[in-house]
Amino acid sequence: MSAARNKQTAIDFLTAISKGELARAKAMMTEDATWQSPPSLAGGPFRGRDAIFGTYIAIDDQLFETGTRSYDFEILNAIAEGDSVAIEMRHVDRAMDGGAYDTEYHMLYCFRGDKICRVKEYFDSLFMHGEFERQGIGFPQGDPPLAKR
């Protein structure tokens, strides 16, 4: 796939999630995809698209008033080269406890063929820790790193 096509797929992926079309977004990932959030919060990566959607993304039903039904994402930048797409985005929402949620993310999407096979997510982990702690929710834990298995 071309870098331009990968960039469009990554944007389509975020658009599907923002509309709550999780099955559509899930179909854009390889079955063995991995998603890595900052290890200081998540530990190792979430392995497999079922774990990504069933554990990691599903926590948003406890975190946000909109749950996984909709998200207010603003794509600030999107850059593609080869099999990688980097997206800088902003997410604005209302937390379940009524607090305002407003933070930026940097996402690196890696492709195999025409599907996303790996996501590396960067965000303010101190801010996120505070959000989860304030609401009494544990940050979802990924698999242990391969070296520790």
| Residue span of the structural domain in which 120 resides | 3-135
On whether residue 96 sits in a domain, the answer given is yes
Token output for 129: 């820790």
Residue pair 99/134 in contact by the 8 Å Cβ criterion = yes
On whether residue 39 sits in a domain, the answer given is yes
Average pLDDT of span 22-47: 94
- Count up the domains in the chain and report the number: 1
Residue 147 has pLDDT above 60, yes or no: no
Q: What is the DSSP letter of 91?
A: E
CATH of residue 96: 3.10.450.50
On whether residue 83 sits in a domain, the answer given is yes
Average pLDDT of span 30-55: 94
Token output for 117: 């096979």
On whether residue 142 sits in a domain, the answer given is no
pLDDT of the residue at 146: 61
On whether residue 143 sits in a domain, the answer given is no
| pLDDT interval class at 54 (50, 70, 90) | very high
Residue pair 109/10 in contact by the 8 Å Cβ criterion = yes
| pLDDT interval class at 29 (50, 70, 90) | very high
Average pLDDT of span 29-33: 98
Indicate the average pLDDT of the chain. Answer: 93
Residue pair 52/35 in contact by the 8 Å Cβ criterion = yes
On whether residue 85 sits in a domain, the answer given is yes
On whether residue 144 sits in a domain, the answer given is no
Task: Identify the H or E element spanning 142.
Answer: none
pLDDT tens figures, 56-89: 999 999 999 999 999 999 999 999 999 999 999 9
On whether residue 146 sits in a domain, the answer given is no
| pLDDT interval class at 41 (50, 70, 90) | confident
